A and B are shown apart, each in its own frame.
Chain A
């Protein structure tokens, strides 16, 4: 659907993307993650034919973007919320695109309604908040009812209610069978939405996998509370298990909960709490990119 193969791009002294390869499968929401400056925007702009790569290729729907017939009907993209003339009204911004794409003028009003911007549509964009501009950008991307959506940091500037709205919108768009590639540096934004993740750092691929696998594969630990803490500690230490204490005083043991439960039962230790402490995507991410950030 979207395929990036050996992509490299240098701007002056900065190697923005270095030999990056990944695939976005049809019908999925893929989170494209990386800290600011990781090369996300450069990659997305290469996919859309706006940036000329030094090496490698980027295709969408099997071809280079410029080979798509009527691209607005195939691929919708929002790259930066500010890419609108401040003196033009939001509705006219959409009409300009609709006319060029051969769409009826009424389509502009439809997408305005879809992103809940009908009231502000006739006002000049100059007076829009960042969140309203993001909505307008989404409306632009949806004009041609495309099967692929490429969104660069669409949650920037949205308030919590807006982020929830965006999440719901993306889910319903994906449910219609669309393929969505959405970038973010705020990992929690995509953690609940994306099926798959592509994590990049310093222009290189760090990981590409299903979201569930990334979270499961992360070194999770088991959370234990017991009145008999010292005995459990020494038992675990005897088994060679690393034990730490969480912020709220519970024990965090590097051992599956079943084994800890068995161990406690064997020695008659009372447990008040026994649970898997799931690593958040935030932690996974920090772990994956650790060591490189300080270079």
Chain B
């Protein structure tokens, strides 16, 4: 399995989209942090403000789900699934290797975003003479939660990609679902006072696992658990679908 995972990691690193992912994370995390810290604000010194800086790492989760989807669908798009399955004919093992590789990359993306945030904010705060709380317990917990969140998004992406093998359909479908589908269902459920159920929708659940403890959403560990359940259900369907498919 470790050879397969290393092969998957090498696949991701040997195409140009890899650099696009890294550049987007560095740029967006950097810009978001700068625009948080930039305005002359008395709050900069406070712990709560610095905990909030971590949220700029959310961009990693978005890139992570794109990576998760494409790590599966690119094989079908370019037909490379044939050589991949000749190497590992057990399709559930192929998907497991992809999930592991993607999870590691999801973690790396979050770490990269955190490093960028730490550097940009750290230098800025030091320059204006603000007190830095980066190693405070609350900041570290939020950072850890952000890393786990990014891994969850990646795994959900792998699950989606293994069900919907068409790259365009999987990416566009996911975007439409996130920005339109769930909001619509959430709104409709709200009309009949069932928005409690709406919290269990996949991306609502993922959102509640970001550590911000929004009162409208599931509690943190509930969010993590429901997200994992979604990953298991969609991933299970993906294994079933991928095993059955004729690779022609």
Contact in complex: B3, A85 (CB < 8 Å): no
Contact in complex: A100, B78 (CB < 8 Å): no
Residues on A with beta carbons closer than 8 Å to the beta carbon of B87: 71-72, 97, 100-101
Query: Which of A79, A80, A101 is B3 in contact with, Cβ under 8 Å?
Result: A101
Question: Restricting to B138-185, which residues have a CB under 8 Å from any CB of A?
Answer: none
Quick one: given A72-B86, A72-B87, A84-B78, are A96 and B246 in contact (CB under 8 Å)? no
Query: Which of A42, A45, A51, A97 is B83 in contact with, Cβ under 8 Å?
Result: A97
**Least CB distance, A261 to chain B, in whole angstroms:** 55
Contact in complex: B248, A96 (CB < 8 Å): no
Question: Restricting to B200-248, which residues have a CB under 8 Å from any CB of A?
Answer: 244, 246-248
**Least CB distance, B79 to chain A, in whole angstroms:** 4
Contact in complex: B244, A96 (CB < 8 Å): no
Residues on A with beta carbons closer than 8 Å to the beta carbon of B89: 49, 65-66, 68, 71
Query: Which of A48, A50, A83, A89 is B80 in contact with, Cβ under 8 Å?
Result: A83
Query: Which of A48, A72, A86, A96 is B78 in contact with, Cβ under 8 Å?
Result: A86
Quick one: given A49-B89, A84-B78, are A89 and B83 in contact (CB under 8 Å)? no
Report if A77 contacts B (CB, 8 A). Answer: yes
Interface of B is mostly: helix
**A89, closest chain B residue (CB):** B14
Contact in complex: B85, A49 (CB < 8 Å): yes
A143 to B4, CA, bound (A): 16
Count, chain A residues at interface, CB 8 A: 35
**Least CB distance, A28 to chain B, in whole angstroms:** 22
**B246, closest chain A residue (CB):** A51
Residues on A with beta carbons closer than 8 Å to the beta carbon of B247: 45, 50-51
Question: Restricting to A37-75, which residues have a CB under 8 Å from any CB of B?
Answer: 41-42, 45, 48-52, 65-66, 68, 71-72, 75
Contact in complex: A99, B246 (CB < 8 Å): no
Report if A87 contacts B (CB, 8 A). Answer: yes
Query: Which of A51, A65, A84, A102 is B248 in contact with, Cβ under 8 Å?
Result: A51
A residues lining the B interface (CB < 8 Å): 11, 41-42, 45, 48-52, 65-66, 68, 71-72, 75, 77, 79-80, 82-89, 92, 95-97, 99-102, 140
Give me 13 A-to-B residue pairs in the complex whose CB atoms sit less than 8 angstroms apart, sorted by A's number.
A42-B248, A51-B248, A52-B246, A71-B87, A82-B78, A83-B80, A83-B82, A85-B74, A85-B78, A95-B14, A99-B6, A100-B7, A140-B83
B residues lining the A interface (CB < 8 Å): 3-4, 6-7, 10-11, 14-17, 74, 78-80, 82-90, 244, 246-248
